[in-house]
């Protein structure tokens, strides 16, 4: 099928995009900013899906402009008679203009609305495009969606492809600072979903770079997710094409207690799931229950939660007419996809289980144990509730609550130890600051099921104070505070306690991190007394710079929060006008999962390797 100006259809201008950018890229926050890159890259990936692109390069420049280069066919540049302009200019300046409406140029595509790259153009104060096609280079420049020159011939080309350079408009976005980790996460996904496609990311601001290329596709994705976990069997792979629809599933169980499932539609990460994910879950539950009944392996049916314990899976569907919710495509709505995925997974998985009885027994045994643990967790939860520990009307005795009842204004300090907790309680602003001291190191939830968590007094106290519940009963709308501030000592034990807390939030209260509720306090490391005045410093560089001007000083190295009196804690660590907080964000869920597995999981060898590789980066180590 020829790809030229006749392939481009036009369904309008870009003024509406600048007036309401959130309608097109989700928001003007970091999410919307990074969506600009995804929109450009998705066009290149569509070329790869169509079989015309092998390499994509993404470069973050020092001024936070971004270049995306591909070796696809290149956007058509010939004149569209209806408009008297180059097809390139039409694609870059008109909403709903592109080659993805008739399914001839692209049978499957993530960018179906024809708004992606034109929206990026509209929301950039500088935008440059070059097309390598038919032996020549054609180029055009734009500002805020408006052409500043005609499409011009800029040289000769030995290959084909498209290069886009854009600089986000700082008048539109809250910040134009791109995150290398956030972009890495998405580009890694795209490489997994398109086997053999090479995608590179380089950052001229700091010299970081990644290159992603996976010949195994989503099978490599599951292997990557499970690489530091003890797996129960070899990977199960399902692939089926039917009526121009493609269903692809890779799954593998490990000995952990949480599931890790990713779903995609036309290469788009449907983070809110949709009909393809529902179909998979339904089929998995029914297939395993059918196998259990047929082989008389258990008396009771397993729930969906039971059969997903320890499961790592990737579900990818390719759909000619996907129905996404919104331009940012976080949920798939095609009703027919549920039945198709359900049918395919049920059929193929049933055959696999029959042909691999040892694997089937291992999976079933894992699921049955999960069912028993779930029942134990239910009983533990009921017991705790009878004691009123999880009843919001009966808060923990050690919690010093704030007087305000408005979660948006309230914050809670989760403090290591009763001594520091006492100082915090005395030094806080009682109007909006609550304090919860925890005793010792909490349970490592990476190695524990939910019923063990509900048997841990310190974790139950924490969950009760926060108010959201945990596990099946978790509800972020019930959070009593919108800021949870982890305040631990600046030593090895403090770092360990902080990591245990972060593991708990990541594994069992992930929405708290995703919604930006979790923070880390930054108490000072040093106090310097000079001329009856106290000066506080938060790192060695600050201290050394000050000592050069201070001369002889009395220097105190803080090793515990309990060494500070209430006034000092308020002044340095708790006062919103002067403190420094680190916000915990989830920029790359796959890498975060990998790190928590290494640091807190059962396998010793990966942890030793991680420590050996990263020991030189440790600061403030007490020996």
The secondary structure element, H or E, covering residue 537 is strand 533-537
Query: Which of the residues 39, 342, 489, 593 is marked catalytic?
Result: 489
Question: Quick one: residue 67, left, alpha or beta (phi over 0 = left, psi -120 to 50 = alpha)?
Answer: beta
Contact 142, 48 (CB under 8 A): no
CB count in 10 Å sphere of residue 511? 15
Active site residue 491: yes
Q: CA of 372: how far to CAs of 108, 312, 366, 377, 378, in Å?
A: 44, 21, 10, 9, 10
Contact 463, 496 (CB under 8 A): no
Alpha helix (H) residue ranges in 226-356: 275-294, 304-308, 335-355
Sheet architecture: strand order including 526-530:
533-537, 526-530, 554-557
Active site residue 493: yes
d(CA 357, CA 199): 39
Active site residue 514: no
Q: What would the two tokens of residue 202 be?
A: 């380089």
Active site residue 365: no
- Coil, helix or strand for 212? strand
- Coil, helix or strand for 316? strand
d(CA 494, CA 414): 12
d(CA 336, CA 321): 11
d(CA 451, CA 585): 28
Contact 183, 34 (CB under 8 A): yes
CB count in 10 Å sphere of residue 558? 19
Query: Which of the residues 255, 336, 493, 591 is marked catalytic?
Result: 493
Pairing of strands 268-269, 581-583: unpaired
Query: Which of the residues 416, 446, 588, 593 is marked catalytic?
Result: 416
Encode 512-533 in three state secondary structure: HHHCCCEEEECCCCEEEEECCE
**How would you class 394 by CB atoms within 10 Å of its CB: exposed for 0-12, middle for 13-18, buried for 19 or more?**
exposed
Query: Which of the residues 78, 143, 259, 491 is marked catalytic?
Result: 491
The catalytic residues are: 416, 489, 491, 493
């Amino acid at each position: 099928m020829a790809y030229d100006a006749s392939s481009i259809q036009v369904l309008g201008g870009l003024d509406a995009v600048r007036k309401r950018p959130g309608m097109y890229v989700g928001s003007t926050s970091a999410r919307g900013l990074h969506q600009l890159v995804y929109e450009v890259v998705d066009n290149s990936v569509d070329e790869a899906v169509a079989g015309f692109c092998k390499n994509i390069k993404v470069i973050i420049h020092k001024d936070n402009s971004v270049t995306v280069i591909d070796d696809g066919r290149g956007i058509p540049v010939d004149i569209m008679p209806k408009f008297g302009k180059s097809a390139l200019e039409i694609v870059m300046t008109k909403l709903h203009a592109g080659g993805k409406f008739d399914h001839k140029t692209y049978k499957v595509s993530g960018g179906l609305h024809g708004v992606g790259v034109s929206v990026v153009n509209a929301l950039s104060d500088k935008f440059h495009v070059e097309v390598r096609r038919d032996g020549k280079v054609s180029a055009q420049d734009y500002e805020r969606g408006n052409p500043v020159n005609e499409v011009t011939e800029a040289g000769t080309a030995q290959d084909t492809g498209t290069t886009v350079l854009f600089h986000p408009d700082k008048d539109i976005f809250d910040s134009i600072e791109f995150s290398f980790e956030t972009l890495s996460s998405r580009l890694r996904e795209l490489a997994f979903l398109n086997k053999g496609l090479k995608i590179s990311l380089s950052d001229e601001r700091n010299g970081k770079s990644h290159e992603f290329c996976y010949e195994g596709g989503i099978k490599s994705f599951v292997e990557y997710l499970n690489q530091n976990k003890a797996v129960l069997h070899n990977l199960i792979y399902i692939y089926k094409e039917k009526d121009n629809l493609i269903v692809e599933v890779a799954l593998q169980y490990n000995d952990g207690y949480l599931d890790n499932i990713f779903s995609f539609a036309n290469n788009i990460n449907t983070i809110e799931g949709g009909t393809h994910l529902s179909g998979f879950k339904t089929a998995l539950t029914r297939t395993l229950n059918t196998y259990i009944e047929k082989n008389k392996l258990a008396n009771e049916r397993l729930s969906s939660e039971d059969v997903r314990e320890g499961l790592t899976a990737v579900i990818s569907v390719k759909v000619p007419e996907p129905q996404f919710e919104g331009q940012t495509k976080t949920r798939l709505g095609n009703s027919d996809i549920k039945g198709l995925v359900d049918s395919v997974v049920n059929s193929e998985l049933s055959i696999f289980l029959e042909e691999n009885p040892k694997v089937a027994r291992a999976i079933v045994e894992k699921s049955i144990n999960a069912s028993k643990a779930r029942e134990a967790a239910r009983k533990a939860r009921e017991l705790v509730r009878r004691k009123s520990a999880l009843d919001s009307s009966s808060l923990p005795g050690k919690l010093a609550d704030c007087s305000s009842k408005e979660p948006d204004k309230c914050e809670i300090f989760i403090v290591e130890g009763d001594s520091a907790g006492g100082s915090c309680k005395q030094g806080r602003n009682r109007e909006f600051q609550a304090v919860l001291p925890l005793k010792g190191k909490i349970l490592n939830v990476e190695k524990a099921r939910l019923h063990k968590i509900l048997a841990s007094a310190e974790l139950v106290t924490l969950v009760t104070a926060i108010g959201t519940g945990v596990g099946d009963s978790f509800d972020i709308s019930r959070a009593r505070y919108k800021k949870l501030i982890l305040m631990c000592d600046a030593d090895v034990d403090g770092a360990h306690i902080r990591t245990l807390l972060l593991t708990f939030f990541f594994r069992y209260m992930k929405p708290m991190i995703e919604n930006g509720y979790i923070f880390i306090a930054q108490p000072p490391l040093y106090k310097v007394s000079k001329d009856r005045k106290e000066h506080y410093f938060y790192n060695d560089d600050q201290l050394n710079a000050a000592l050069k001007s201070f001369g002889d000083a009395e220097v105190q190295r803080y090793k515990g929060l309990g060494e500070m009196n209430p006034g000092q804690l308020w002044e340095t660590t708790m006062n919103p006008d002067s403190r420094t907080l680190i916000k915990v964000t989830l920029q790359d869920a796959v890498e975060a999962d990998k790190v928590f597995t290494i640091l807190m999981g059962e396998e010793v060898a990966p942890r030793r390797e991680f420590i050996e590789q990263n020991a030189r980066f440790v600061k403030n180590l007490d020996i």
